[in-house]
Amino acid sequence: MKTLLLALTFVISNTVFGMSLSDVRPGDILLISLNCYECRVIESETNSLFSHSGVAIKDEEGRIRIAQSLGSLDHYSYADFSKNKTPGTFIHVYRAVELKNISAQKRSLLEKVMLDVFNEQFKHAPFDSKYLWNNFNSKGVELLYCSEFIAKFMDHFLKEKTVPFPVTYQKHIDYWTKYFKGVVPEGELGNSPASFSRDNRFEFVGTI
């Protein structure tokens, strides 16, 4: 039944709220299903359509880019961000309610500040394959997985901050036991791409 409801939500959202890249604003969160086995496990574990996430920013030339933590954290073209999308699926876009109706002047300023914060505090941060909320390397640099990066990045611009929750790996514990080499971080605080679709600070605005 849950699978059917997810499928219906998927179809309805795409039919009613179809959008193009030109509709995407800086700060919008893009949720995607990537085409890999681990991605299917993540989607099943989180009861969602999503296994990865990115956030839109504008670069120095005014182009929309998608920032993501997948390997070294950087911003990419939409084509590069979406190239490994699961066939037949759509990217879902969520927008912070706080940023939805700000003036054009404030939006222009926000776009510049977002780029500055990204370049100064997040760009090239290493990926956290252990999926830990506060994980630093020997040099004191924080490792960030995809949805963790976005949450901590957006917290710079939202009054209401992210509250991480205990993450469970029980649904596919055999897979995760092998992935984490026997030490599964069950119950550790964190988030997932699906978290943004269930967070009342954000609202669904369409699919691409």
Residue 105 and residue 110: Cα distance in Å, rounded?
9
Angle at 26 between CA 152 and CA 7, to 5 degrees: 80
Q: What is the pLDDT of residues 155-191, one digit of tens each?
A: 999 999 999 999 999 999 999 999 999 999 999 999 9
* pLDDT at 2 exceeding the cut of 60: no
Alpha-carbon distance of 134 to 123, in angstroms, equals 17
Per residue in 126-138, pLDDT (tens digit) is 999 999 999 999 9
**135-136/142-143 β-pairing:** antiparallel
Q: State the pairing for strand pair 64-68/52-58.
A: antiparallel
pLDDT at 1: 53
Tokens of 24: 């995407």
Q: What is the pLDDT of residues 60-84, one digit of tens each?
A: 999 999 999 998 899 999 999 999 9
**Any idea what the Cα angle at residue 175 is, between residues 172 and 178, rounded to 5°?**
145
CA distances from 18 to 65, 173, 207 (A): 19, 36, 5
pTM, entire model: 0.91
CA distances in angstroms from 202 to 92, 151, 188, listed in the order given: 12, 11, 24
Element (H, E) at 135: strand 135-136
CATH for the stretch 2-207: 3.90.1720.10
Three-class secondary structure of residue 188 per DSSP: coil
Of the candidates 61, 58, 53, the residue with the CA atom closest to the CA atom of residue 81: 53
Contact by Cβ (8 Å): 75, 59? yes
